[in-house]
Structure 1
Amino acid sequence: MFKVPRLYPFSEDQHTGVHACFYEGVSYKGRATRIFAYYGIPRSVSPNEKVPAVILVHGGAGTAFSSWVKEWMARGYAAIAMDLEGHIPFGDEEHSERMEWPSHSWSGPEKQGVFADYEQLVDDQWMYHAVAAVILAHSLLRSFQGVDKQSIGITGISWGGIITSLVAGLDTRLSFAMPVYGCGYLHEPGSYYGLSFASMPETEAERIRLLWDPSNYLSESRLPMLWVNGSNDTHFPLTIFNKSFEQHLECHPNNNHSRLSLHPGLGHSYKEAWACEELFAFADSIVKAKPALVEICEEKHEDGWFAVRYDSCLPVLEANLYWCVDDRDWRTARWESIPASLDATNSKALVRLPQHGISFFMNLRNEKGWITSTRVMRNERMAEQKIK
């Protein structure tokens, strides 16, 4: 997987410079496979110039979106987006909603629910082929003239976020990783992923957890990561998302460049994920030395107060506390917000916690509008009183 796969050129859009291609995948039941992809390198690149690059991993009901590649190219990046489900999205590649794209005869296994193919041999499971396709896409991207091999990152949405979280701890060649929605600890209760694990025989559930849950790889994720999610995501609740971020953050000192960005009310869709400017800003800060998102240096919860110390190269204009009184179901939790007192001179934000608040986090917004969040924290004493 870490060797350059064979490339099968298909076509090139002369107007945009986006190429359609197939590249060699891992074998499936003894036969060769190919993966469809779009890729592009900004045309402004001179012969001796090298640009950063990004791998784009779609989620469920998605495909290789050429529009996603174009967006990153317009921002000065080479990019590759592959299809992980054996489709060729010709004619519909601009759509981000569920579509029925034509299949091709070189594909690997079909995706079946949430690890519903758990009884299959490991190398016959969809997740094995999906992870391999992403790592191979990275190997291919590195081989292109004009791509800076030391400045390649990855981002993925939903299922793509799961794969991104996993690959972040597996592919040490990556410079940054940005999972959106998707995360680890999928086996834990509270989501339909957890329900799928619960429906498996116990031994099989444990086998799949060890094979494919990102929590088994995040401890090796020694690179800057940006974690983006909404406050009430219907697929990936904040419990497991926050836990994934914390596991990554605490596994290596270099991970202090990582950020969490929680967007209250953010829906679960490609369109809304693509609109998060924090993704482009974070990538730029890592590989282009541009301004970084606000860094959370210290979070202190004591005597009914929540104090945050931060660092930012851009002015921080706003700090807000988000809190809820009932976190039993993160999908329907009602988040309230109150402004925090902002001391820009000393880079501190302070707020008194609401009396009945159980779970809470603070968002800091800089002059560009980019959001950095503290970890989601819990007032355990208040939670215990509520149970009583």
Structure 2
Amino acid sequence: MSPLITLSVAYVLIKRLRYIASLGIIGLLAVGARAGEHSIFAPYLGDEAPQILETIETQKEDSIEITRLRFLNRTLPDNSIVSIYGILARPAEKSARRPAILVCHGGGAMADHVEPAVKHWASMGYVAFCQDEPGIADSKKMRSTGYWGQDRNPWRCKPDPTRNQLYDGILAALNGFNLLRAQPDVDPDRIGVTGGSWGGYMTTMVSGLKRDRVKAAFAVYGGGFYDHGTVCQDALARRGTENRALWLKHFDAGNFAGDITASYFFAAAACDWFFWPPSVQATLDKIHSDKNLVFSPNTSHALAFPGGNTGPTPVDSRAHRAMQEIAWMDHHLKGEGKPFPICSVAEKPIRDGAGIRVTFQVTSPVPVTAATVWYSYGETPWRTRHWKKLECRASTAGSYYATLPVEEPDQPLDWFGLATDDRKISVSTSLLRVDPPALGFTDADRRTVLWTASVHAPGFDSRLWHPPYDGSYRGGRFRFHRGAFNGQPAIEITGQYALDCFGLRGLSLARDRSAGLSFWARSPSGTGFTVQLVNEETDAVYHVWEVNQPPPGQDWKEVRIHWSDFRPGPHAKPPMLSEKTAKLRIITPAGADLFFSQISAITVEP
């Protein structure tokens, strides 16, 4: 029988009192004068483990023991209960106190989805637990039961934030943490929390609310400050000022990040569809404890760097969001391995001819094998940026620099330094912004650089082409061909599909007096295609201009599209070329077979 901890009858007797306290009337179990003390979660900040309602099964699998169970999340005033399903895994071999990991699932998932993670942590000597998290979980498939709020809107907080379905999700994670901490084979001083996407949000939330009870945290993609740059900020704003303020107070992990005492790592995607760099940076800025980070350039919900989840070291993405999360937890919870490198910026940027020199420092206990700088145009939308890579030069020991090219002297540039050590662990600096006018740049320094889009197989250092992140137009596929056009690479799209090209700079296209686009294409299928220019507002609203192209023929043919050929889509707001124009999209119909290569802007003819 698995050594599960249950509660006395006293737990049930105080259920009404806990509910009253959750409304903020009293803070019975609040810990310290921190943000959590004044939140609706105050009654759940102690160490009391939840009552186990049912032990579904306990079984052995290889070297680990797995227990499936349901615990009491809370009792409502009408005496109905919220029951949460969870999975507990531990090494089958009996031992003294072990380190432990709480795994938080992402949006639309549930405990069963992260079962591989719980099992793998157990196979490495940890006691691990995961639970369904209502408000985040797939409500139709999860095994938990109960009242899930007054409606399906996760942003509604009036008239009572405890009726928001996300409330039970956060309680489930807090109760899951307490259940894990109470296990007889768990060292309560060595517990970590990890999760990706909404699970990264939950990792940050639990770490802030549980404070010194969490020793290590590894958040992937998601964190706090949903109003600082996320796909959710517009939906939150539409609920009204008062509701928005309530949600940010009670449900935004950023409000509790300042109470984190754990060693905290944030692995973020610089072009993430859901969580944008400003929200990541705001979360990190709020944390005062030991912290570290890495930005993955040119990816969304993927970590394409050594130590991430796309290589070069193979990784089971169901078991771990990133390879280096294992090293982070092993170091902080087991005392194994050396610390991670730290990237910092001590020198101010300086003008270097026609560019701006930026410098960062890497402090590492092991040799650094790669150091690069990544930059993007500061005026363009976060999700449609292309981060450009600059190889660094070493100046002094551990110091690296590169020069950012300045094309538009009145526009900012954003950058970060990225370093990898010989263990395949990658870290980066914070996201930084440089302002060319502050360094003496004027309109006279403007350079005309006509836009071109490389056509070659994607890598994390040059990913320009990607299907729409929103999942639209997924009836076909695309692939790269080497030497398909006069020895040059080409892209082939087959079937009904859409392919986005990132990194367009509409402001420069307008200022350069460009005339349109030029590329070479052929269509063995005899089908035409559509080309779109996409503008994105800060609230993730799109404005589209498009032109339908006839079949180019079966042989290679140069296609020229003038800006005047594009027509606005519904609700498109001019101008077509602006600082918000950063994406080109090619759409093909069913049955299509389209090849294209050598895309570039064309100048106004004299």
Fold match (TM-score > 0.5): yes
Displacement after TM superposition at 1:133 (Å):
1.1
Task: Flag the 1:374–1:233 CA change in 2: closer, same or farther, 3 A.
Answer: same
Displacement after TM superposition at 1:155 (Å):
1.0
Partner Cα distance (1:85, 1:329) in 2? 32
SS of the residue aligned with 1:324?
A: strand
- Is 2:352 aligned against 1:301? no
Report Cα offsets for 1:333-362 as digits up to 9, x if no partner: 01110111236x722222223334711001
Larger Rg: 2
Partner Cα distance (1:87, 1:302) in 2? 42
Report Cα offsets for 1:237-279 as digits up to 9, x if no partner: 111111211221xxx3xx2x31111122444279489341121
Residue 340 (structure 1) aligned to one of 383, 389, 392: 392
Partner Cα distance (1:376, 1:32) in 2? 45
Task: Flag the 1:205–1:87 CA change in 2: closer, same or farther, 3 A.
Answer: closer
Name 2:544's counterpart in structure 1: none
Query: Where does structure 1 lack aligned partners over 5 or more consecutive residues?
Result: 89-97
Partner Cα distance (2:284, 2:321) in 1? 21
Name 2:223's counterpart in structure 1: 183
Q: Which moved more, 1:7-16 or 1:270-279?
A: 270-279
- Is 2:393 aligned against 1:374? no
Partner Cα distance (1:327, 1:56) in 2? 37
State how many pairs are aligned.
Answer: 368
Residue 355 (structure 1) aligned to one of 397, 406, 414: 406
Report Cα offsets for 1:191-218 as digits up to 9, x if no partner: 3211111211211111111111122111
Partner Cα distance (2:49, 2:281) in 1? 35
Kept after mapping to 1: 8 A contact 2:51/2:71: yes
Mapping for residues 48-59 of structure 1, pairs under 5 Å: 49-59=96-106
Partner Cα distance (1:133, 1:26) in 2? 9
Residue 366 (structure 2) aligned to one of 307, 310, 314: 314
Task: Flag the 1:86–1:193 CA change in 2: closer, same or farther, 3 A.
Answer: closer
SS of the residue aligned with 1:41?
A: strand
Partner Cα distance (1:298, 1:13) in 2? 51
Mapping for residues 199-348 of structure 1, pairs under 5 Å: 199-248=238-287, 252=288, 255=289, 257-268=290-301, 271=317, 274-289=320-335, 290-303=337-350, 304-342=356-394, 346-348=397-399
Report Cα offsets for 1:294-329 as digits up to 9, x if no partner: 123444332132222222122111101111124531
Residue 4 (structure 1) aligned to one of 16, 30, 49: 49
| One-letter identity of the residue aligned with 1:163 | M
Name 2:91's counterpart in structure 1: 42
Relative contact order: is structure 1 or structure 2 higher (C-alpha 8 Å, sep ≥ 6)? Answer: 1
Kept after mapping to 2: 8 A contact 1:20/1:36: yes
Kept after mapping to 2: 8 A contact 1:316/1:366: yes
Partner Cα distance (1:298, 1:354) in 2? 19
SS of the residue aligned with 1:80?
A: strand
Q: Which moved more, 1:358-367 or 1:109-118?
A: 109-118
Partner Cα distance (2:421, 2:329) in 1? 17
- Is 2:81 aligned against 1:26? no
Name 2:520's counterpart in structure 1: none
Task: Flag the 1:193–1:199 CA change in 2: closer, same or farther, 3 A.
Answer: same
Q: Calculate the aligned-residue CA RMSD, in Å.
A: 2.8
Bigger strand fraction: 2
| One-letter identity of the residue aligned with 2:301 | H
SS of the residue aligned with 2:156?
A: coil
Partner Cα distance (1:120, 1:21) in 2? 33
> Quick one: percent identity of the two aligned structures?
20
Task: Flag the 1:109–1:334 CA change in 2: closer, same or farther, 3 A.
Answer: same
User: Normalising by the residue count of structure 2, what TM-score does the alignment of the two structures yield?
Assistant: 0.57
SS of the residue aligned with 2:74?
A: coil
| One-letter identity of the residue aligned with 2:75 | S
SS of the residue aligned with 1:184?
A: coil
User: Normalising by the residue count of structure 1, what TM-score does the alignment of the two structures yield?
Assistant: 0.86
Kept after mapping to 2: 8 A contact 1:266/1:272: no
Partner Cα distance (1:216, 1:300) in 2? 31
Displacement after TM superposition at 1:86 (Å):
9.1
Query: Where does structure 2 lack aligned partners over 5 or more consecutive residues?
Result: 1-43, 303-308, 310-316, 351-355, 447-506, 512-606
Name 1:94's counterpart in structure 2: none
